[in-house]
Amino acid sequence: MRRSVLAGPVLEVAPKLLGTVLRSTTDEGTVAVRLTEVEAYDGPNDPGSHAYRGETPRNAVMFGPPGFLYVYFTYGMHFCMNVVVGPDSKPSAVLLRAGEVIEGLELARIRRGQPAPQKSVFNQVRPGPTTKRPAANPDRDLARGPARLCVALGIGRDGNGIDLLSKDSPIQLLNGSGYDGVPATGPRVGLREAADRPWRFWIPNDPTVSPYRPHVPKKRA
């Protein structure tokens, strides 16, 4: 992936990230995903963007050059990540929403708490009427959603500010096989502001794409 490609307008860059590969290497090993769903955020032109009201210590990475990773903590429990795009000092970013694990499947399963699949149907105990079955967590769900994507890749706060295009980086954005079809588009997920803008892009009919959920205002007691 070239930095000049990421330096374009966010609505042009976002769909180009579909089919690219994000690879993360830690002491535990390497996991890579093929990106299948993203959302565009257009900085000061977008009330839904973290950069809408200007630069803060939290969003400072967005105000730098394209090709860097912007990681933030949300809801007091989850990390989400974005690729910074657009010209330097013009804060826009693409939220990485979902992907297909194509490398390091076993490690991704461990991180997501998924038991290894049974290799044989023999000598297995048939569950009785009171036996609790393990929670279903198929491989398609390993990185299906922005928080799950970070968990599967082992990306947390330390990933903020990493150059995704450096050959020495532990997290790299690679061209992969790409996607040359026509992406599906629709409103972004869970936004209170600018919720109607169709700036979410995904690969049609891909099972790893996350379900759409609109913002639901909290009811006062």
80 within 8 A of 71, measured Cβ to Cβ: yes
- pLDDT computed for residue 215 by the predictor: 62
Give me the amino acid identity at 42: D
- pLDDT tens figures, 156-215: 999 999 999 999 999 999 999 889 999 999 999 989 899 889 999 999 999 999 988 776
In whole angstroms, give the CA distance from residue 31 to residue 151.
Answer: 10
Contacts of 207-211 with CB under 8 Å at 24 or more apart are: 207/140, 208/36, 208/37, 208/98, 208/99, 208/100, 208/140, 208/141, 208/143, 208/144, 209/36, 209/37, 209/97, 209/98, 209/144, 210/37, 210/97, 210/98, 210/144, 210/145, 210/146
| Count of other CB atoms within 10 angstroms of residue 76 | 5
Q: In this predicted structure, what is the pLDDT of residue 217?
A: 61
**Phi/psi at 150 (5° precision):** -65, -40
Q: What is the pLDDT of residue 125?
A: 41
**This prediction's pTM:** 0.87
CB 15 within 8 A of CB 180: no
pLDDT computed for residue 120 by the predictor? 40
The pLDDT profile of the chain, 221 residues, written as one tens digit per residue, is: 899 999 999 999 999 999 999 999 999 999 999 999 999 999 999 999 999 999 999 999 999 999 999 999 987 789 999 999 999 889 999 999 999 999 999 999 999 998 666 554 434 444 444 444 445 558 999 999 999 999 999 999 999 999 999 999 999 999 998 899 999 999 999 898 998 899 999 999 999 999 887 766 655 55
What distance in Å separates the CA atoms of residue 169 and residue 148, rounded to the nearest whole number? Answer: 21
